[in-house]
């Protein structure tokens, strides 16, 4: 019991003993009793003091226990508040944050870092900006020669001109080709008639030419224009009555026509040393018992292929990796991929093949530290702990840019990244002890620590990318496209979509014009020539000096 309380009890007892009503200040009440006062107390008086002391101690312990309960409740409420704030921030970020993952620069340096376009970029003639465009020459003359303002004499053409340029566009034209196949007869016996053979076509006897079928396919799978809108655009250009369903059927037949090319691209991807994988949701509108399907994408540096499946189970990736010849597989931290690698390695071990190494995407780890944002009325800012990770990743990606500019120094530059990863590892371990397990920052730190081995796999080999952004870019077109056509109506339609998406996205990887590739591969198949992938087509164009830009 505190000394002050004991003295307070003694003073109370003394006042009762004298049976006098005395008003004392708190300072007087808490004044310690002297030795003479203590010695003057009897046994019964000391017993009363002891009882009072015991009662006060029990009250103190009850108050202390209640204080501990309140402190525990306060801590629980603080954690709940932090959890609600993090959920609020996530929702607000989804609604209002920019989609780009680029870290915002300091406002003070924003003006100095912004690159202004030079005057030369805005004053170039269209023929200089677009050297491959056709030029139409127009000479503007006067039918009646003008009169000189000085002497009123008739003027003549001086041979000089004032030249200017502007861009124009010729709307798409829909033409009908009327084909006449000549018949040949024998002038001697008149016993035989032969007809000139028809030219090879994707769909013999169809109402659509090869060029129109290819145009419709690329409009949908490259430009993401639904077939109904494609027909509506034709109507606005004066060609009314184009049926979308027959065009959809023709595009599906084109996918069957190009299926061997799809298999060749798939084989090229699976034979690569590095494969990147990702998947996204897909809706099967009808024709299947399962409405929720998934679009899987597997890519290499020069090719990619797509597959539609009614499951997200890891067995899809297991079958792909078992069939592949890759040594490294990059993905996000989805458990299905980890299971697929383990199962594929068991099969590889029985075959005597080298195991597959798992590499994980650093962009996913970085995104975790952009979520725990703190907002105030003036601006948005990241907490210092989260900003530390973003700053470290910014330095890592600066080094990565140097690797792309100088591949021969790739191994040295990757080795110099190690210190940044180790610093983040130490920071993440400290974060687990400093933050609530319900906070987004805690989850981001835990993710980084759990996946640290896969995140740092890129340090061992410069050919392993830092992130899986390439796969996400390959899936961007299908994801945007599903917002316009919502899904597919049959499994055959999903297979046709996979074929066209494979060809189009592989062309983009190789910087090949998809239309030029479709025309070339279609003619090669019709002539019975060997088929080729977009990467092989790009090599041919580079040898011939042709452009490969899509």
Per-residue pLDDT of the chain (550 residues; tens, 9 = 90+): 444 444 444 454 444 444 444 454 556 555 676 777 777 878 787 787 778 778 888 888 888 888 888 888 888 888 788 778 777 766 766 666 665 666 655 555 555 545 554 455 557 888 888 888 889 888 888 888 888 888 888 888 888 888 888 888 888 888 899 989 999 998 888 888 999 998 899 999 899 999 999 999 999 999 999 999 999 999 998 889 899 999 999 999 999 999 999 999 999 999 999 999 999 999 998 888 889 999 999 999 999 999 999 999 999 999 999 999 999 999 998 999 999 999 999 999 999 999 999 999 999 999 888 865 443 334 455 667 888 999 999 999 999 888 877 777 888 889 999 999 999 999 999 888 888 888 888 888 999 999 999 999 999 888 899 999 999 999 999 999 888 888 898 999 999 999 999 999 999 999 999 999 999 999 999 999 999 999 999 999 887 765 444 4
Q: CA dist 181 to 13, 125, 186, 193, 240, Å? A: 130, 47, 17, 12, 29
**DSSP assignment, residue 24?**
-
Q: CA dist 220 to 94, 254, 485, Å? A: 28, 13, 10
Helix or strand run (H / E) with residue 283? strand 274-283
Q: Please count the residues of the chain.
A: 550
- Taking the C-alpha atoms of residue 184 and residue 33, their distance in angstroms, rounded to an integer, is 139
Helix or strand run (H / E) with residue 52? helix 43-96
**Are residues 386 and 372 in contact, defined by beta-carbon separation less than 8 angstroms?**
yes
CA 152-154-157 angle, to 5 degrees, is 135
* Residue of 294, 267, 264 whose CA lies nearest to 278: 294
Taking residue 349's Cβ as centre, other Cβ atoms within 10 Å add up to 11
In terms of DSSP bridges, do strands 328-331 and 183-185 run parallel, antiparallel, or are they unpaired? unpaired
- Taking the C-alpha atoms of residue 504 and residue 498, their distance in angstroms, rounded to an integer, is 10
In terms of DSSP bridges, do strands 357-360 and 328-331 run parallel, antiparallel, or are they unpaired? parallel
Report residue 400 as tokens: 């990565």
CA 394-397-400 angle, to 5 degrees, is 160
């Amino acid at each position: 019991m505190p000394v002050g309380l004991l003295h307070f009890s003694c003073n109370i007892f003394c006042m009762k003993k004298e049976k006098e009503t005395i008003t004392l200040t708190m300072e007087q009440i808490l004044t310690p009793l002297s030795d003479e006062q203590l010695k003057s107390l009897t046994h019964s008086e000391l017993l009363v003091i002891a009882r009072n002391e015991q009662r006060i101690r029990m009250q103190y312990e009850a108050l202390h226990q209640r204080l501990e309960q309140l402190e525990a409740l306060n801590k629980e409420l603080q954690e709940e508040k932090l959890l609600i704030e993090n959920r609020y921030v996530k929702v607000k970020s989804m609604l209002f944050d920019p989609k780009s993952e680029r870290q915002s620069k300091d406002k003070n340096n924003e003006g100095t870092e912004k690159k202004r376009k030079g005057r030369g970029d805005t004053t170039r003639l269209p023929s200089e900006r677009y050297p491959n465009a056709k030029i139409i020459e127009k000479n503007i003359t006067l039918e009646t020669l003008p009169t000189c303002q000085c002497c009123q004499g008739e003027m003549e053409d001086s041979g000089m001109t004032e030249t200017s340029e502007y861009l124009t566009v010729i709307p798409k034209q829909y033409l009908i080709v009327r084909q006449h196949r000549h018949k040949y007869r024998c002038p001697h016996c008149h016993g035989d008639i032969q007809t000139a053979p028809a030219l090879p076509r994707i769909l013999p006897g169809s109402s659509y030419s090869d060029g129109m079928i290819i145009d419709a396919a690329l409009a949908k799978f490259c430009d993401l224009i639904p077939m109904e809108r494609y027909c509506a655009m034709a109507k606005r250009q004066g060609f009314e009555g184009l049926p979308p369903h027959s065009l959809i059927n023709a595009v599906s037949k084109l996918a069957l026509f190009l299926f061997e090319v799809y298999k060749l691209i798939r084989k090229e991807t699976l034979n690569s040393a590095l494969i990147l994988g990702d998947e996204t949701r897909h809706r099967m509108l009808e024709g299947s018992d399962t409405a929720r399907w998934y679009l899987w994408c597997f890519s290499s540096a020069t090719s990619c292929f797509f597959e539609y499946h009614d499951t997200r189970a890891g067995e899809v990736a297991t079958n792909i990796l078992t069939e592949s010849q890759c040594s490294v597989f990059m993905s996000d931290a989805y458990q299905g991929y980890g299971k697929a690698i383990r199962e594929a390695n068991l099969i590889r071990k029985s075959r005597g093949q080298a195991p597959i190494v798992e590499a994980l995407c650093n962009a996913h780890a970085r995104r975790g530290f952009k979520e725990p944002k703190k907002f105030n009325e003036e601006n948005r800012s990241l907490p210092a702990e989260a900003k530390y990770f973003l700053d470290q990743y910014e330095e890592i990606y600066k080094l990565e840019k140097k690797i792309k500019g100088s591949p021969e120094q790739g191994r040295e530059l990757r080795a110099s990244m190690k210190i940044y990863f180790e610093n983040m590892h130490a920071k993440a371990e400290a974060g687990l002890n400093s933050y609530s397990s319900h906070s987004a920052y805690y989850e981001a730190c835990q993710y980084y620590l759990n996946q640290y081995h896969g995140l740092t796999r890129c340090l061992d080999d410069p050919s392993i990318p830092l992130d899986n952004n390439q796969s996400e870019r390959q899936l961007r077109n299908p994801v945007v496209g599903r917002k316009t056509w919502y899904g597919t109506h049959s499994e055959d339609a999903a297979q046709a979509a996979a074929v066209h998406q494979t060809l189009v996205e592989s062309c983009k990887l190789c910087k090949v014009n998809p239309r030029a590739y479709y025309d070339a591969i279609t003619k090669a198949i019709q002539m019975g020539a060997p088929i080729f992938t977009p990467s092989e087509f790009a090599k041919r164009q580079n040898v011939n000096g042709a452009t490969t830009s899509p």
